[in-house]
Amino acid sequence: MVDLSVDLCSLHMDNPVVPASGTFGFGYEFKDFYDINILGSFSFKGTTKEPRFGNPTPRIAECTAGMINSVGLQNPGVEHVVNHELPEMKKYFHKKVIANVSGFSVEDYAYTCALLDKEEQVGLLEVNVSCPNVHGGGMSFGTDAKSAAQVTRAVKAVTKKPVFIKLSPNVTDIAEIALACEEAGADGVCLINTLLGMRIDIKSRKPVVANKMGGFSGAAVFPVAVRMVYQVAKACSIPVMGCGGVQSARDVIEMMMAGATAVQVGAANLVDPFACKKIIEALPAECEKLGITAIKDIIGVVD
Ligand code: SIN
């Protein structure tokens, strides 16, 4: 019997598989597909201080081996999340959950994290400084080491829960940003968010998504994610949550060998709502084939 358990700071998980924020709603939307308690945990939709309608439509462009989204952090706002979404989620998910938080100022991040800090079911805060779809916030914090560190310090000051900073791949040196977060007190980092991309409708000669550009994710970005997880895991001593293009149990194993302690599955959930279930079910046999008895033993094994 393969031991799939991992520890992400104080969060003990039965397995390393975590649906990524923005691809799994608040969890209960998936309750009719399968028992979501089989998941290691999940990261709920990026939450901001105020409710947000999101970007104009169309917001999605299909691509070969991936997709572009320009959702624009649509969410009902942190007060609604605390008063309505979390109580509903709690009926169906009985483990600790990951709260993904976005903001437009350092104060926004701190305000939203302070409210979520009071929620018993929140096991970990995932601070998103990497959304490419909004102006004056999101990725602008995650592409500058000083700003990423500033957000980290502000959030750490309002919570005792582990704080993971979700990093952008749209930088020259992701290890530099990760190190700045670590030095500012981050308990871990999550990477990668989406790559800034664009599609053009060649008949209309217009961008496919209304916001012109959006975040590219899906199978095509997996090698980029593995490379960045590897670089950050080698540079930092805090844990890494890997994310980006994961499709299968073998991808989970590969990302853990690169240095990830837990692995998020994103775009795959949008193609197949059973993606995480299939990955979790396939993991023991894939581990056995490779002689792995405890999955935590493979974290960062690659030199
Ligand atoms: C979005 O809501 O635009 C996606 C979130 C993200 O990419 O961080």
Overall average pLDDT of the 34-58 stretch: 98
Residue nearest to ligand 1 atom 5, measured at CA: 131
Q: What is the tens place of the pLDDT at every residue in 276-294?
A: 999 999 999 999 999 999 9
Q: What is the pLDDT of residues 227-258, one digit of tens each?
A: 999 999 999 999 999 999 999 999 999 999 99
pLDDT of 43 > 80? The answer is: yes
Q: What is the pLDDT of residue 139?
A: 85
Instruction: Verify whether residue 190 is a known catalytic residue.
Output: no
Residue 133's pLDDT band, with cuts at 50, 70 and 90, is: confident
Catalytic residue among 9, 113, 131, 190: 131
Give residues (CB < 6 A) around ligand 1.
Answer: 22, 46, 69, 71-73, 128, 130-131, 133, 193-194, 215
Q: Ligand 1 test: best mutation among 59, 193, 243, most atoms within 8 Å of CB?
A: 193
In whole angstroms, give the CA distance from residue 274 to residue 30. Answer: 9
What pLDDT does residue 140 have? 86
Residue 65 near residue 219, CB atoms below 8 Å = yes
**CA 104 – CA 135 distance, rounded (Å):** 8
State which H helix or E strand residue 108 sits in. helix 106-117
Residue 119: what pLDDT?
98
pLDDT at residue 137 above 80?
no
Q: What is the DSSP letter of 257?
A: H
**240/54 Cα distance (integer angstroms):** 29
> How far is Cα 252 from Cα 242, in angstroms, rounded to an integer?
9
| 118 has a pLDDT exceeding 80 | yes
Cα–Cα distance measured from residue 302 to residue 231, given in angstroms and rounded to the nearest whole number: 11
Query: What is the arithmetic mean of pLDDT over 80-88?
Result: 98
Our mutation pick for probing the ligand 1 site, out of 194, 195, 216, 217, counting the most ligand atoms within 8 A of Cβ, is 194
What is the pTM assigned to this prediction?
A: 0.97
Q: What is the pLDDT of residue 167?
A: 97
Cα separations (Å) of 91 from 77, 85, 88, 147, 297? 20, 10, 6, 37, 34
